[in-house]
Structure 1
C-alpha cells in the first residue's frame, strides 16, 4: 500500500519506541551469548516498523554485528519464492565473501537454490526430503557463519511472503539452538485479514516460546511533536501539532506525508498522491461494499448500525455481508460497544469523503438528517444535537441548519466545549443571511447569566448583533482572543452607537479586554469610550460590567486608592441591578485591592467567600480569576503552602471546565509558590506545564519568568539571560503591569550583579523607582530592593561600583519608607533590607540585625531566603572573632544544608568557601580539622599565587596591558592567566570574576592576597 510512495519529509531524529528498541537490543545481547533470537515486529502500514528496524540495525552494526536485509515481494496472490532469504544471503555474501563460501563448502549445489552465486544447482529433487535438506543446510550455514560473529537478518514485509519463505523461517525459528543469530521480521497487521495465509503462521509461532512479538502502536501527541521538531528543526506551534496529530492519528508515515503536502502548498494536507494511495484498498472491494463505505464515511467518524441501515436502505443480510467484507479488509472496525462501525484510520475516511461528488455529499447528509429526525433514539442523546447540526449544514439547507446549529451550540456550552461552541456559532453566522426571516425570528438569544447583558429580555428575537456577542463570549472562553477581537470589530461596524449605546458600550468593553490581552493598543481608550456611552443612562447591567472591567484593569496597571473606589462602585452598581456574575467579578477585584492596602486577612476572607459562591453557581466566567487571584494573593502574603493547595485544586477544576489558558496561569502561580517553599523541581515542572498549555503571550511570559528565577538561584547564568529575554519579549507587547515588570527588574538586578554589570542593575532599579513606589505592589518591591541592596553590598570596593553608590542607597531607603510591613513576610524582607543596606554603606556586619532577619524568616515559608540570612549571620558572627566563630557554626551549617537540599549552587558554594576560611565543619559528625595557618581565600579556589595576583588586579578593573605592567609580564601571558582564572572560577567574563571576588571577599580592602 505504501511501498511506491517516497518520503520527502523524514525526521532525522529517531522518535519514541524506547521499549521496542530495548527489546531488540536485548535480543542482540542474548544472541551474542549464543542464544538465537527471533522477533516479529507488527504494526499498521506507515507506523514506523522499517524505521525501528533501521535504527536497530545501525546499533547492531555499531556493536560489531554483521547485518543483512531481505524484503518480500508482492507478485499476484503470493510472493516470489524464497525472495527475502535469497536477498539477505546475497548481502551476506557481499560482506563476508570467502567466509560464506567456506561455510557453504561441500553443499554449494543445494544452497545455490537460495544463493545462485554459489554455482550450479544440483539435480532437482521434488520430494519432501529435498526440501527438508535445503532447510537443514540453510540452518547449518547460518550456524557456521555465527561461529565467530553475530549475525542480524531482517526480513521485511512478511505479509507478502510466499509459503516457501514462511516454512523456511518457521524451520529456522524452531531448529536453531546455539547460533549467535537474530532474525527480525516485519509485517503489516492491517493487511492480515481473516483469510490471509500469514494469520495461521503467526498463530503457530505464538506457540513457540523462542519467538517474540513486538507490536508498534501509533505515536502519541508528544511523539508526533518530536517527529515534527525533527523534520523542521523547530518545535511546532500547538495549532499545527494538534491539526497534524488529529489527521494522522499518530501514523508516522502520514505525518510525513501531511507535512510534505502542506509544505508544497496543499492547504488540506491531503495531496493527490496520498489520497490515491489511501483509496487503493477501498477500490479493490466489490461495488456494493464500496457504496456502504462511502455512505459510512459521510456519516462521521463513527456510525451506528441502525442509522447506517436507515440511510443505505439495504436489507439486513445485504448490509451485514458488506460490513463483514469491509471489516475483513481492515477498512472499518466495529466500535467497542458493538453498536456501530468506525474507520480504522481517519485519513482513509477523509480520502473517501473527498472522492464523493458535491451533490452526492449533500444528498447523503440530508438522508442522515432525515433518518435521525425520524428516529432520534438511534444515536446517543448527548451526540444528537451536534450530529443533526452537522448533517443539515452539509445538506446545504439553511432553514433547517440554523436552528440545529444554535441548539448544538447551547449543548456544547453546557458541556464546557467552548471551541466546539465557537465553531457552531460561526456556522450560524455563516448561515444567517441565507435563512428566511420567519425562521430567524423564531430563534432566541442564549441566557448567559449577564455575560452579555445588552441583548435585552429573553423573549426578544435573536439579532445578528446578539449572535455576534455570543460568539465573542465563546471565543474568549475558548482562549481564541484573536477571533474574539475580530468578531468584536464586526459587531462595532454594525452598531449605531447613538441608537444603541448599551450594546455599543458592551462591545467597546470587550474590545478593550481583547486589546489588553493581546497587547494591541491602549485598553483605557476603549474603557473610557464605554464609560461615556453609559454616562447619564439609568443603571444597568452593562454599566456595571463596564465599571467592573475598568476596576480590574486599574488594579493590575495602576493599583491604588483610585482603583479601589472604582471597584467599590462596581460592586454597588452590580448589586443594584441584580447582576450577580458581574458583582462577583468586581468583589474579587476589590478583595485583591484590600490585601494590597494592608488588610490581608479581610481581603483573603472576601476572596474565599467569592470563590465559594462562584463554585456553587458553576460560573465559568469568573472561575478562572478566582483560582488565579486567590493563589496569587496567598503567595503575596507569605502563605505559600495554602497557595499551592488552591492552585492544585484550580488546575483540576479548570481542566474539568475546559479553560486551558486560565489553567496555565494557575500553574504559573503554583510554580511561584513551590519555589518559595523550596520545592524547586516541582516548581520547574509546574512552569513547564504552564508553558505547554499557554494560549497567550502573558502566560508564556509567566513561564519564562519562573524559568529565569530558577536559573538565577541555581547559578545557570546563560539560561537566565535567555529566559529573561523571552519574558521581556512577551511582556513588552503589553501595557506595563507592575506584577510583571517589577519581578523582571529584580531578575535583571540579580543577573547583572552576578555578571559584574553594575550600571545595568542600577538602571533596572531606577526604572522602577522613577515610576514611584506604589504601596499596593509591596509584595514585588520588597524583593527588588533587597536584590539591589545585596548587589551594592557585594560590589563594595569594586572600582566601577563606587561612583553613584550613595545615591543608589538613598533611593533604596526612600523607596522602602513608602512600603508597609503589614504581614510577616514583608516585615522579614524589611529587616533583610536594613541589614544589607548597612553592609553596603560601611561594610559592617551587624550580627544582631542578621539574627533578627533569621528569626523573621523562620516564621515564613521561605527556606531559600532563610538560608541566605543564616549565611550572612554566620559571616557577621565570624567577623566578631572570639566566641563568634563557635556560634557561627550552626547557622552556617543550616544554610549549607538548605542550599544543598534545594539546589542553590551559588549559595552552597559561598557557604563552603566561608567554612573553609573559618576552618568550620559543615557536617556535625565530622571533627574540626587541626589548627593550621588559614589559607588565602583565593587559594582555596585552586588559584596559583600568580593567578591570585592577576585576579586582584582584575577586581580593581585593570586591563591586560595594565596587569602586565604591574606584574612585569607580557600582555599575552596576562591574557592566558585571565583565561585560566575564568575557567577555575566558572565565570564567563572579567566583570563576573571581579564581582565574585568582591562578593566572596577574596581579598582584603587593602588588596592583599
Structure 2
C-alpha cells in the first residue's frame, strides 16, 4: 500500500516489541544449538517489521553470526525472479568468498543464474530438473556456511515475491537439515488478499514444526510516546501525542510521517502520505469507491444495516462493492460480523478529506435521516452523538444544536469528557445561529459539580449560554485540556455581573483558582480569596461550601498546619449543613490528609478508605479521583508501600473506567514511587511510562520528570538525571511550588550536584531551602533530604572543601531534625539514619548506631535504604580495631542488594570503599547453586529458570503458571533479574542473557 517505506524521521530509540524480540532471540538460540529455524514476521505496512529484524541483528555478536539480507522487488506488478536470494548470496560471497566458492565448486555456472556477475550461465530451461539443481545448490551453500557459525538469512517483503522466489523459499523451509541456520521472512499481512499467491506457501509451511509465524502489532499509547520522544528529542506535548496516536492508530510509519510534518511545520509530507493512502481507493470500481466515501462519513466503523439504509442499494450490489473494498484492504470486516471499519484512521481521514463540500453534506444528511427513521441502526449510547455530528455536517443548525446539547449530557454520563467538550463547543458555536425559542426548548444540561442551579434571581431554569460555559469548563478540566478550561472561565467571568450574580461568579473564580494552579500560572490564592469574598454574608449554599472546601484543600497543599486543619473542619461542617455529601467527602479527604502525618492509630487512614468507597458508590467522579490519588500517597508516607501499590492499582482501574486520564497519571506516579521503595525498579519505570502517556497538565508532567530524574540518578546516569530535573523545573515553573514538590526538587538537585562534584552548589541549594522553611516538613520528604545533606558533608570530611559552609549545613540539619516529629517506623528509621550520617560527618562514626539503622530498615521492605545502612555500618566498623571481617560482611550485603537493584552509584561507593580497605566482597551464590555465568552475575537457580521464560516471551502470569508460584513472586523474580543484569527491560535482559550464554544448557 505504501510502496517502499523510507523513514525520514526514524526514532533513534528502539521501542517496544519485547515478546516479539524475545521469540526471535529464542530462535537464534535454537539455531545456534544446531537446529535450523525459520520465522515468518507478518504485519501491516509500516508497522515496524524491518526495524525489529534490525534490532535482532544488532544484538548478535560481530564475528559470531553472518547475516545476509535480500528483499523482494516489485517491477510492473511482478516480482523480480530470485531477487532476494541473488542479493543474499551476493552478500555471503562478499563476506565469505572462499567458503561460498568451495561450497559451489564445479557448479559456478549454475550459481551464475542467481549471481550473473560470476559469468555466463549458458542456456537454462525451466524444467523441474533445472529448478531442483539450483534449489539444492542454494541449500548446500547455506548448510555448509552454517556448519561453522550462525547464519541468518533475511528475506524481506515476501508479499512481492515472484513464483520462483516462493518455490525456492518453500524448498529451503521444507528441507532444512543441519547447521546453525535461521531464516527470517517478512511480509505485509494487509497485502495478502484471498487470492494472493503467497497464501499457498503460507498454508504449506504452517504445518512445519520449525517454522513459526510472529504477528507484529501496532504500538500502544506508551510505545507511541517513546517513539515520538526519540524522534523529537523530548517528550511530546500531550495534545500532540493525542493527535498523532489517534490519527496513526499506532502504526510506526504513520507516527514518523505525522511527526515529520509537525517538525517541519509543513503539510507536504502529510499530503504525500494521503496520496499514497488513496492509491488503492482510486483503483476500485466506481461503485466501490462510492461505498467507501459514504462509509468514511460514519467514522472509523459503520454497521452493515446502517450502510445499507444510507446507500439505498440492492443488497447484492452493496455486498459486491464491499467485497472489492475489503480485498483492497481499505475496509476490514468487524470481528463480530456487524459491519466494517477502516484499516487505519488516516485512510478514513484521507477519504473523507477527498469529498466535495456538497457531497459531504448530502451523505451526512442521509445518515441523520436514516438514524431518525430507525434508531436501532446504531447502539443506544451512540445515537445522540452521531445525530449531532451528522446534522452539523449537513449544515442543519437547529437540529445540530438540539442534538449537541442532548449528546453532551449523555457523553458526561458515560464519563466521555473530551467528547462532551467537543459537543458543548459545537453548541456554543451554533448558539447565535438559532432563535430564542429554539434555545429555550433545549434539554436541561445537568449541572456541573457545585454549580448554582440558577444563573441569577431573574433567570428561569432553562439552558443559558453561561450554563454551556460551566459544563464545558468542567469537561475541559476532566479531559485534561486546562488551557481551554481557563479560556472558558475567562469568557464566563466577562459575562457575569458579580454583584447581581455572586454565586455563579464565585463558582467560576474557584474553577479559575484550580486551573491557574494546574497550569503553574499562580498559586490560586488570589482567585480563591475573590470567591470567598463573593459568598461571605450570603445565606448558606452549595457554592459557599464548595469555596470553603477549596480553601481548606489549598491550605493543606501550601500551608499544612493547625490553621488549615481548622479550615477543613469548617468545610466539613458547612457541607453537612447544605446537605452536599459530595462536598463533605472532599472536605473529609482534606482533613484526613492533614492528619495523616500524626495518624498513629490509623483513624484518618480508615476514614480515607471509607471516603473512597462511598465516593465510588455515589459515582462522584471528582471525589473518586481525589480519594484514589490521595490514598496511595498517604499509605506511602506512612511506610505501607505494599498496601500503597495495591491502592494505586485499584485507583488506576477506577480512573480508566471513568475516563480520568489526568488523575490516572497522578495515581501512576504515586504507584511508581511505592514500587521504587519496594525495590521493584523496572516496574517503577513502567508506571512512570504509563503516567507520561496520559498526563496532560504541566504539574503532573513535571512530577513524572522529577521521579524519572531520581530513578536515573541512583542507576548512575547522572547527566540524564540532571536533564530530567531541569525539565521538571521548567514544567513546574515558579508560580505554584508547593512544599512537597520543592523539597523533592531540592533533594534531587543536591544529590545530582554532589555527584557532579559541585559541592558548593549542593550546599547552597540546601541552605536556601532551609532558609525558606522547607526543612520543617512534610516529614516524609524532609528527612530524606536531611539525610542526603548530612551524607555529602560526611563524604566531604577530610577534603579541601571549605569547612565553614559545611558547618552551616550540619548546623541546619541538626536544627531541622530536632524540630521534625517522627511518628511512623519509616520516619524513625530515617531519623536514625540522619543522626548516623551526622555523627560520621562530625568524625564520630558509630557502628552501633548504624546497626540500629540496619535493623530499622530490614523490617520495612526498603532495600535501597537498607543497602545504604549496610554500607554505613561497614564503613563504621572499619574504624574499629579487629572488626574487618564484620565490615566485609556488611559491605558484601550492601553490594549484593545494590547489584540486585541496579543501584550503580551505590555499588561504586561500596566497591571503592572495599578497595581502599583492601577487602574482598564475597558475593557468592547460595550453597548448591550451579557455577557459570548466571551465578557470577548473582542469579539464583530459580532466577535462571525465570530468565529462560522471560527470553521465551512469557508474561509474569505465564511464568507464575509454569513454575507454580504466585504472580507477585514472578514479578519480584523478574525485577531482581533485570537489576542484576543491569537491564532496562525484559527485551534487553533476554538479549544480554543470549550474548552471555546464560540460556544454553
Q: Which band: TM-score by shorter chain?
A: 0.7 to 0.9
SS in 2 for 1:453: coil
Alpha-carbon separation, structure 2, partners of 1:184 and 1:880: 63
The Cα shift of 1:300 comes to: 2.2
Alpha-carbon separation, structure 2, partners of 1:576 and 1:25: 66
SS in 2 for 1:383: helix
Alpha-carbon separation, structure 2, partners of 1:862 and 1:35: 46
**Alignment CA distance shift 1:636-1:600 (3 Å):** farther
1:663 maps to 664
2:962 maps to none
SS in 1 for 2:395: coil
Alignment RMSD? 4.8
- Which residues in structure 2 correspond to 1:360-759 (within 5 Å)? 360-448=359-447, 450-453=449-452, 455=454, 460-596=461-597, 601-710=602-711, 717-751=718-752, 757-759=758-760
**Alignment CA distance shift 1:494-1:74 (3 Å):** same
2:134 maps to 138
**Alignment CA distance shift 1:92-1:827 (3 Å):** closer
Alpha-carbon separation, structure 1, partners of 2:574 and 2:719: 51
1:348 maps to 347
1:277 correspondence with 2:276: yes
Whether the aligned pair in 2 keeps the contact of 1:259 and 1:269 (CA below 8 Å) is no
- Which residues in structure 2 correspond to 1:967-982 (within 5 Å)? none
Which structure's CA Rg is the greater one? 1
Alpha-carbon separation, structure 2, partners of 1:298 and 1:382: 18
- Which residues in structure 2 correspond to 1:687-836 (within 5 Å)? 687-710=688-711, 717-751=718-752, 757-772=758-773, 777-798=778-799, 800-803=801-804, 808-827=809-828, 829-830=830-831, 832-833=833-834
- Which residues in structure 2 correspond to 1:983-994 (within 5 Å)? none
SS in 2 for 1:341: strand
SS in 1 for 2:302: strand
Tell which has more relative contact order, 1 or 2 (C-alpha 8 A, sep 6+): 2
**Alignment CA distance shift 1:616-1:762 (3 Å):** same
Q: Unpaired runs of 5+ in structure 2?
A: 926-1001
Alpha-carbon separation, structure 1, partners of 2:874 and 2:558: 41
The Cα shift of 1:168 comes to: 6.7
Whether the aligned pair in 2 keeps the contact of 1:877 and 1:885 (CA below 8 Å) is yes
2:318 maps to 319
**Alignment CA distance shift 1:574-1:313 (3 Å):** same
Q: Write out per-residue CA displacement over residues 86-105 of structure 1, whole angstroms, 9 at most, x where no aligned residue.
A: 88889999999998899697
**Alignment CA distance shift 1:722-1:132 (3 Å):** closer
Alpha-carbon separation, structure 2, partners of 1:831 and 1:173: 67
The Cα shift of 1:515 comes to: 0.8
**Alignment CA distance shift 1:297-1:832 (3 Å):** closer
The Cα shift of 1:371 comes to: 0.8
- TM-score, with structure 2 as normaliser: 0.78
> Which range is displaced more, 491-500 or 67-76?
67-76
1:288 maps to 287
Whether the aligned pair in 1 keeps the contact of 2:221 and 2:693 (CA below 8 Å) is no
SS in 1 for 2:341: strand
- Which residues in structure 2 correspond to 1:138-177 (within 5 Å)? 138-139=134-135, 141-142=137-138, 149=145
Q: Write out per-residue CA displacement over residues 49-71 of structure 1, whole angstroms, 9 at most, x where no aligned residue.
A: 66667888998997675857464
Whether the aligned pair in 2 keeps the contact of 1:449 and 1:581 (CA below 8 Å) is no
Whether the aligned pair in 2 keeps the contact of 1:789 and 1:836 (CA below 8 Å) is yes
Q: Unpaired runs of 5+ in structure 1?
A: 927-1009
**Alignment CA distance shift 1:647-1:268 (3 Å):** farther
**Alignment CA distance shift 1:358-1:820 (3 Å):** same
Q: Write out per-residue CA displacement over residues 188-232 of structure 1, whole angstroms, 9 at most, x where no aligned residue.
A: 443444344554455456567787656554444455455545555
The Cα shift of 1:571 comes to: 2.2
**Alignment CA distance shift 1:663-1:892 (3 Å):** same
Alpha-carbon separation, structure 2, partners of 1:632 and 1:31: 49
SS in 2 for 1:803: helix
Alpha-carbon separation, structure 1, partners of 2:267 and 2:133: 57
Alpha-carbon separation, structure 1, partners of 2:855 and 2:112: 88
Alpha-carbon separation, structure 2, partners of 1:594 and 1:774: 19
Whether the aligned pair in 2 keeps the contact of 1:72 and 1:83 (CA below 8 Å) is yes
**Alignment CA distance shift 1:206-1:22 (3 Å):** same
Whether the aligned pair in 2 keeps the contact of 1:631 and 1:669 (CA below 8 Å) is yes
Whether the aligned pair in 2 keeps the contact of 1:38 and 1:210 (CA below 8 Å) is yes
Whether the aligned pair in 1 keeps the contact of 2:304 and 2:338 (CA below 8 Å) is yes
The Cα shift of 1:810 comes to: 4.5
Alpha-carbon separation, structure 2, partners of 1:450 and 1:35: 66
Q: Write out per-residue CA displacement over residues 122-159 of structure 1, whole angstroms, 9 at most, x where no aligned residue.
A: 5x98xxxx623432343355467658657988766665
Q: Write out per-residue CA displacement over residues 235-275 of structure 1, whole angstroms, 9 at most, x where no aligned residue.
A: 5444434433332334444444444444554559741x333
Alpha-carbon separation, structure 2, partners of 1:172 and 1:877: 67
Whether the aligned pair in 2 keeps the contact of 1:73 and 1:79 (CA below 8 Å) is yes
SS in 2 for 1:486: helix
Whether the aligned pair in 2 keeps the contact of 1:518 and 1:734 (CA below 8 Å) is no
Number of matched pairs:
917
Whether the aligned pair in 2 keeps the contact of 1:455 and 1:466 (CA below 8 Å) is no
Alpha-carbon separation, structure 1, partners of 2:414 and 2:894: 51
**Alignment CA distance shift 1:847-1:348 (3 Å):** closer
